[in-house]
């Protein structure tokens, strides 16, 4: 069940223009504006390359069906201006929306997965990895680094669903563990933003063990009295849910995000029961007591700053006494 | 034998024949000696057993791990432990009978033993929810583990579950959180923890009581991130390819040992633990005791450090620095 939905080979309509986004948060420099490039139409591949799309592309909101002008949608952090539907967002854009300009120092940017089991399925893991590395600007499903949010130094990890369904293999586990350990060592809060189908089955038991590894690192981070904030975005499920995603001092979620342990189809097949309305959404989990708050993408940064101030102010006051 | 797997058939047939011959000593009165024949069948049985069970495929081992006659947690507690006092409830919501636990003695040691429990028949399986625990099971396990920690009792966990229960109620009460908290908290428990996968090691549901100083696995048990059927459904869009998935996932005891994902493989009687549960339990007891005594000998600081380092080390990846990005052999790390 940890593999639920991880085998996503189809991309969303577009990969959110990640290809030419600067890796860190340096201000954009001399990139050719999108409209100077001639759009390639008709080939299936070009659908994943936003920069090759014609200027003035519109996106239809899947919730309210409003046609949204892409430029405005981008400026609104990929949130529907009309109904607040949260479109998926890549890790780089997410980081850009949260951290202070030029403060993101990426860690372990060059780490990448290996096919340790020599996994042979319908296609090999090695070929999958190659395809995703080629078709996305990513090396794996998480970007980690130290940064500043407001006045607060933070260890930040952001998962990316565009890489193999955000599945957690050795690289995701190792990068997050190093991030948490760095946070512990430097006395920094940790924030992890999840988007994942769960453990990466192509790495077999190595994937499962990342759950224990990341949770163990968080145990020592918590032991030092440091804050950990977990943010759940669409979708967060399975092995990621059953490890660091649910271990936050605060657990926040984006509106409408699908969040759960077992996949809805697995539950339906196992129990032969109808699933309740709104099952496994952020709102459902708020009602059932798992989530501290649902925070929209535009409000997230200000909320994080506010929460962090409460955590650090309490410590400071106690230390002063 | 009522329950048998396809590949067990030749062995079971010979065994039945042998039992028949042995059970009819009256035939000896006719002056015919069966001794020679019995000896021949015994030899053939041994040979057949060896041939079949020394080269099992991953899928065959999965089937053995799920064998309806395979000893379950309470069978091992009965055979390998003494003085078991079962303790119930998570003090939060309910008593989950898919997870059993309590005080027991292992050799000369007083311990807390915890394990997932399957049912032997339909009625018991309903009670035990087929060995798939709800959040309450994991919270009960943690309650008992904290109890053990408070009173300095080592912890032994026995793992045999297809996975944590995928149901509406389990989601509503946050099974993912229950497992995650166990992973975090088990990291910091000061007492020794020895885990043994005795049958099915089903993913997060198994790991939820599996963070330990030593992780043992029985020879024909498996431990996997996803069920072979689930993996086949995703990769081949057909659960019938479970055998292929089982092989690809590298889930057998020996594969896991090779990758250092488990510490030790506990041998089973030839033919599987169900052919001689008492012998299987004796083996398990010996391995549990041996590991427990080694971990008991460590100081608490050393124990916690070793436990952390052990899970910290799991993973394979490459790190290419800027200068090695173009064709230079990347440094492999494990």
pLDDT, tens digit, 9 for 90 and up, residues B169-208: 999 999 999 999 999 999 999 999 999 999 999 999 999 9
Q: How would DSSP label each residue in A201-257?
A: GGGHHHHHHHHHHHHHHHHHHHHTT--EEEEEEEEEEHHHHTTGGG--SEEEE-TT-
pLDDT, tens digit, 9 for 90 and up, residues B131-145: 999 999 999 999 999
- Residues forming a β-bridge with A152: A149
Q: Residues of A numbered 165-224 whose beta carbons fall under 8 angstroms of chain B's beta carbons: which are they?
A: 170-171, 173-174, 177, 199, 201, 203-213, 215-220, 222-223
User: Which positions ≥6 away from B206 have C-beta within 8 Å?
Assistant: B116, B159, B161, B163, B197, B200, B223
Yes or no, beta carbons of A288 and B173 under 8 Å apart: yes
| A276 interfaces chain B, CB cutoff of 8 Å | yes
- The conformation of residue A26, written as its DSSP 8-state character, comes to P
Residue B21 shares a structural domain with residue B89: no
Per the structure, how many domains does chain B have? 2
pLDDT, tens digit, 9 for 90 and up, residues A203-259: 999 999 999 999 999 999 999 999 999 999 999 999 999 999 999 999 999 999 999
Residue B39 shares a structural domain with residue B161: no
**Is residue A17 a part of any domain in this protein?**
no
Tell whether the model's pLDDT for residue B27 goes beyond 70: no
| B188 interfaces chain A, CB cutoff of 8 Å | yes
Residue B35 shares a structural domain with residue B86: no
**Is residue B134 a part of any domain in this protein?**
yes
Q: How many residues does chain B have?
A: 334
φ, ψ dihedrals at A190, nearest 5°? -115, 135
Q: Which residue has the tokens 């124990």?
A: B303
CATH number, residue B268: 3.90.226.10
| B230 interfaces chain A, CB cutoff of 8 Å | yes
Residue B101 shares a structural domain with residue B176: yes
What pLDDT does A43 receive? 43
Residue B210 shares a structural domain with residue B228: yes
**Is residue B320 a part of any domain in this protein?**
no
pLDDT, tens digit, 9 for 90 and up, residues A154-174: 999 999 999 999 999 999 999
| B329 interfaces chain A, CB cutoff of 8 Å | no
| B310 interfaces chain A, CB cutoff of 8 Å | no
**Is residue B334 a part of any domain in this protein?**
no
pLDDT, tens digit, 9 for 90 and up, residues A278-290: 999 999 999 999 9
CATH number, residue A126: 3.90.226.10
Yes or no, beta carbons of A205 and B245 under 8 Å apart: no
Of B204, B250, B317, the CB nearest to A113: B317
**Is residue B326 a part of any domain in this protein?**
no
Alpha carbons A191 and B328: distance in angstroms, whole number: 34
**Is residue B151 a part of any domain in this protein?**
yes
| A232 interfaces chain B, CB cutoff of 8 Å | no
Tell whether the model's pLDDT for residue B242 goes beyond 60: yes
Comparing A313 with B88, the larger pLDDT belongs to: B88
Chain B residues inside the 8 Å CB shell of A205: 223-225, 249-251, 256, 259, 261
Residue B170 shares a structural domain with residue B49: no
Q: Residues of B numbered 8-27 whose beta carbons fall under 8 angstroms of chain A's beta carbons: which are they?
A: none
- The mean predicted confidence, pLDDT, of chain A is 86
* A16-20, B68-72, B85-89, B281-285: least confident range: A16-20
**Is residue B318 a part of any domain in this protein?**
no
Tell whether the model's pLDDT for residue B331 goes beyond 80: no
**Is residue A215 a part of any domain in this protein?**
yes
Of B187, B250, B322, the CB nearest to A215: B187
- In three-state secondary structure terms, A9 is coil
Query: Nearest CA to CA, how far is B91 from chain A (Å)?
Result: 18
Name the E strands within chain B.
82-86, 99-106, 109-116, 155-161, 193-202, 214-218, 222-224, 264-266, 317-319, 331-333
Comparing B325 with A121, the larger pLDDT belongs to: A121
What pLDDT does B28 receive? 57
Per the structure, how many domains does chain A have? 1
Alpha carbons A136 and A131: distance in angstroms, whole number: 8
* Gyration radius of chain B over CA positions: 22
Of B177, B187, B312, the CB nearest to A246: B177
Of A247, A262, A285, the CB nearest to B184: A247
Residue B71 shares a structural domain with residue B92: yes
Range of the domain at B79: 62-312
Residue B23 shares a structural domain with residue B101: no
Residue B31 shares a structural domain with residue B169: no
CB pairs under 8 A between A and B: 219
Count of CA atoms in the C-beta half-sphere (13 A) of A69: 5
In this prediction, residue A17 has a pLDDT band, given cuts at 50, 70 and 90, of very low
In this prediction, residue B31 has a pLDDT band, given cuts at 50, 70 and 90, of low
What pLDDT does A228 receive? 98
Of A6, A239, A273, the CB nearest to B168: A273
- What is the distance of C-alpha A118 from the center of its chain? 27
Q: Are A132 and B332 in contact (CB under 8 A)?
A: no
Range of the domain at A95: 88-320
- How would you classify the pairing of strands A111-113 and B82-86? unpaired
**Is residue A54 a part of any domain in this protein?**
no
- What is the distance of C-alpha B208 from the center of its chain? 13
Q: How many residues does chain A have?
A: 321
Chain B residues inside the 8 Å CB shell of A114: 316-318, 332
Chain A residues inside the 8 Å CB shell of B249: 117, 119, 201, 204-205
Alpha carbons A118 and B189: distance in angstroms, whole number: 36
Chain B residues inside the 8 Å CB shell of A263: 166
């Amino acid at each position: 069940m940890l593999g639920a939905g991880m085998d996503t080979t189809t991309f969303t309509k577009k990969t959110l223009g990640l290809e030419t986004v600067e890796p860190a948060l340096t201000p954009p420099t001399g990139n050719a504006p999108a409209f100077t490039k001639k759009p390639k139409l008709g080939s299936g591949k070009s659908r994943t390359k936003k920069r090759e799309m014609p200027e003035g592309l519109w996106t239809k909101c899947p919730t309210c069906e409003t046609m949204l002008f892409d430029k405005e949608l981008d400026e609104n952090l990929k949130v529907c201006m009309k109904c607040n539907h949260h479109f998926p967002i890549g890790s780089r854009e997410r980081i850009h929306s949260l951290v202070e300009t030029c403060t993101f120092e990426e860690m372990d940017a060059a780490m990448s997965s290996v096919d340790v089991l020599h996994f042979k399925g319908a296609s090999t893991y090695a070929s999958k990895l190659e395809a995703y590395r080629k078709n996305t600007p990513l090396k794996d499903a998480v970007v980690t680094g130290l940064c500043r949010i407001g006045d607060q130094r933070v260890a930040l990890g952001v998962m990316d669903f565009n890489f193999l369904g955000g599945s957690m293999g050795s690289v995701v586990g190792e990068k997050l563990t190093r991030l948490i350990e760095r946070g512990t060592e430097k006395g920094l809060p940790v924030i992890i933003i999840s988007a994942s189908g769960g453990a990466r089955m192509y790495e077999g038991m190595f994937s499962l063990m990342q759950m224990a590894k990341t949770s163990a690192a968080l145990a020592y981070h918590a032991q030092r009295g440091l804050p950990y904030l977990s943010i759940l975005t669409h979708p967060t499920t399975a092995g990621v849910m059953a490890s660091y995603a649910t271990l936050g001092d605060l657990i926040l979620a984006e509106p409408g995000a699908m969040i759960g342990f077992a996949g809805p189809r697995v539950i339906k097949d196992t129990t032969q029961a109808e699933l309740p309305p709104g099952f496994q959404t952020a709102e459902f989990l708020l009602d059932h007591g798992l989530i501290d708050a649902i925070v929209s993408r535009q409000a997230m940064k200000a909320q994080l700053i506010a929460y962090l101030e409460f955590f650090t102010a309490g410590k400071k006051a106690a230390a002063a006494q | 034998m009522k329950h048998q797997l396809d590949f067990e058939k030749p062995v079971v047939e010979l065994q039945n024949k042998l039992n028949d011959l042995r059970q009819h000593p009256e035939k000896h009165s006719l002056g015919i000696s069966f001794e020679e024949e019995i000896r021949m069948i015994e030899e053939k049985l041994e040979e057949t057993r060896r041939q079949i069970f020394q080269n099992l495929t991953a899928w065959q081992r999965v089937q053995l791990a799920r064998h309806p006659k395979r000893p379950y947690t309470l069978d091992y507690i009965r055979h390998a432990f003494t003085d078991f006092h079962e303790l119930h409830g998570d003090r939060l919501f309910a008593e989950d009978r898919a997870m059993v636990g309590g005080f027991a003695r292992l050799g000369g040691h007083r311990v807390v033993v915890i394990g997932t429990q399957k049912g032997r028949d339909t009625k018991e399986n309903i009670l035990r929810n087929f060995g798939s625990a709800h959040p309450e099971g994991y919270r009960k396990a943690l309650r008992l583990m904290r109890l053990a920690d408070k009173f300095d009792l080592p912890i032994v966990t026995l793992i045999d579950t297809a996975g944590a229960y995928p149901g509406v109620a389990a989601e509503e009460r946050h099974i993912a959180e229950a497992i995650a908290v166990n992973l975090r908290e088990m990291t910091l428990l000061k007492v020794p923890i020895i885990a043994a996968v005795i049958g099915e090691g089903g993913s997060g549901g198994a790991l939820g009581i599996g963070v330990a100083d030593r992780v043992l696995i029985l020879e024909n048990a498996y431990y996997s991130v996803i069920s072979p059927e689930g993996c086949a459904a995703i990769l081949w869009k057909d659960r019938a390819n479970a055998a292929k998935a089982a092989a690809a996932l590298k889930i057998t005891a020996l594969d896991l040992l090779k990758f250092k994902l488990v510490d030790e493989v506990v041998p089973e009687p030839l033919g599987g633990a169900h052919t001689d549960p008492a012998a299987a339990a004796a083996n398990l007891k010996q391995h549990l005791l041996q590991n427990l005594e080694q971990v008991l000998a460590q100081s608490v600081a050393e124990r916690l450090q070793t436990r952390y380092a052990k899970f910290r080390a799991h993973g394979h990846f490459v790190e290419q620095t800027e200068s090695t990005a173009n064709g230079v052999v990347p440094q492999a790390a494990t």
